[in-house]
Amino acid sequence: MRRRQVPTRPDYIKWLLLIGAAALVVVMLAYVGWRYILPHSVDVDRFRFPVAGIDVSKHNGNIDFEQVRDDDYQFVFIKASEGKTYRDEAFERNYQGAREAGLKVGAYHFFRKNREGKDQADNFLGAVRGKAFDLPLVIDLEDDWGNGVTVDRKTAVQRVLDMINILTDEGYMVMIYTNLDGYNKYYKDLLADHDLWLCSFTSPDLLPHLPHCIQQFSHEGTVAGVEGAVDLNVYRGSKKEWKQFLERIQSEQKPL
């Protein structure tokens, strides 16, 4: 009697499964390398860059901003909103605490590339309107995991510009936050009319060719008043230049 053969998958299906599994492994290794192996901090000479600050969101928990101030930090950027509808639930608390401690305060919005600029501007304005700020409003523009990966560069930039136009029409000064990839992809050719807050784990001394005024240099900072790791930043200049920077912001930023 002839034996029945068990059906087998066609070879191309086997290859597709193998390729898919290999791609998944590559993605997982890339994430592990980015998260646990690549540096997320660099030492910065506080004598040369004496003005320092932190940036925070709800993930930093309850913050004692008076302790932050006493630990020799002068400014803070606080997350206010994200995308079309999200508002950071700790924004009001963080804003009040930072103002009462006498820190120079700014706010930022995490930009979602798959949402219209007008909708995101409305969300950001809804969070910050009526509040006083010493620093510009910041649009956080970066290609993180899952942030509008199908949106092309031209569309993303146009949406950012739409948002900027609305914020500036409301009297706010706008700053762009991004990393080195975002600098090359979005900022240097299309958004360079606005001040830059750059994330880079390279000492500011080694980046003289990049025109940023604030640098985020660590995701692993330890600061009195904040439980756990916090992002650290410096102003790239002297105390005198910092004062001039603040004066320029106040002269240009006049919310309606």
Contact call for residues 174 and 136 (beta carbons, < 8 A): yes
Task: Tell me the sheet residues that pair with 232.
Answer: 54, 218
Stronger pLDDT, 110 or 206, i.e. the higher one:
110
pLDDT at 149: 76
Contact call for residues 240 and 247 (beta carbons, < 8 A): no
Report pTM: 0.84
pLDDT at 205: 84
CA distance 32 to 25: 11
Share of the chain above pLDDT 90, in %: 75
Average pLDDT of the residues of the chain:
89
Polymer length in residues for the chain: 256
pLDDT at 40: 81
For 163-194, give the DSSP string: HHHHHHHTT--EEEEEEHHHIIIIIHHHTTTS
Stronger pLDDT, 228 or 14, i.e. the higher one:
228
pLDDT band of residue 104 (cuts 50, 70, 90) is very high
pLDDT in tens, 226-241: 999 999 999 999 999 9
Cα angle 109, 114, 117; round to 5: 55
| pLDDT above 50 (res 56) | yes
CA distance 64 to 61: 10
Share of the chain above pLDDT 70, in %: 84
pLDDT at 26: 41
**Biggest alpha carbon distance in the chain?**
96
| pLDDT above 80 (res 55) | yes
pLDDT band of residue 14 (cuts 50, 70, 90) is low
The torsion angles phi and psi of 215, rounded to 5 degrees, stand at: -125, 130
| pLDDT above 50 (res 21) | yes
| pLDDT above 80 (res 189) | yes
Task: Tell me the sheet residues that pair with 235.
Answer: 214
CA distance 165 to 158: 10
pLDDT in tens, 115-144: 999 999 999 999 999 999 999 999 999 987
Cα torsion through 97, 47, 240, 138, rounded to 10 = -50
Tokens, residue 168? 């500036």
CA distance 182 to 147: 13
Residue 25 identity: V
